[in-house]
Amino acid sequence: MIDEGGGASRSTDPAAGTSAATDVSLREFIDQRFIGLEKRLDERRAADQSAVLIAKQTADAALEAHNQLIHQMRGQATESQRQLDKLTDTYATKENLKQLEILIDQRLESIDTRLGSIESASGSYTGAREARRAAFADLRALIIFGFVVLAGVIGLITYLAQN
């Protein structure tokens, strides 16, 4: 029987009693394995870089959407604050109502003074009757005036609250 070659690979020259041919074929085998491993490592690196790039693009898009949402919310908050400021300017304050009360009291005193002067000047039943009618007419006008002012204030507040 003829010995056909070395132990590691039959593709090389027969070993012929030495290990030089076996060493060469082992080196070739290891080199091929390293080349295969490097190729797979390069493919994995490329896939990882692609995944990292996609993740970065996704994170950038999410950050941009978040920034746009914050900008929109700030705009809405500013608009809401402006509307609230506009509304607070239209509310009737205690001071305004106090001034209206003083104005009504002054008007009533004026009417009372006028009524007194009319009654003293007339001296007769007819004159007193006319004086009372005039005083009540003035009182009714004052009351109507007060209601008109109050309705105007309420209407203005309602209008501004809706806009």
Q: Over the stretch 40-69, which tens digit does the pLDDT of each residue have? A: 999 999 988 988 999 889 989 988 988 898
- Predicted confidence at residue 1, as pLDDT, reads 45
Same domain, 40 and 71: yes
- Out of 89, 121, 137, a domain closes at 89
Range of the domain at 121: 90-163
- Predicted confidence at residue 21, as pLDDT, reads 56
**Does the structure show a pLDDT above 90 at 144?**
no
Within-domain flag for 156: yes
Q: What is the pLDDT of residues 81-118, one digit of tens each?
A: 888 777 776 776 778 778 888 888 888 888 878 877 77
Tell me the whole-structure pTM to 2 decimals: 0.36
**Does the structure show a pLDDT above 80 at 10?**
no
Of the candidate ranges 13-17, 24-28, 93-97, the one whose mean pLDDT is the lowest: 13-17
Listing DSSP states for the chain in one string gives ------SS-SSS---TTSSHHHHHHHHHHHHHHHHHHHHHHHHHHHHHHHHHHHHHHHHHHHHHHHHHHHHHHHHHHHHHHHHHHHHHTTSPPHHHHHHHHHHHHHHHHHHHHHHHHHHHHH-SHHHHHHHHHHHHHHHHHHHHHHHHHHHHHHHHHHHHHH-
- Out of 89, 117, 147, a domain closes at 89
The pLDDT-based confidence of 38 (bands split at 50, 70, 90) is very high
Percent of the chain with pLDDT over 90: 13
The pLDDT-based confidence of 158 (bands split at 50, 70, 90) is confident
Please tell me the total count of domains within the chain: 2
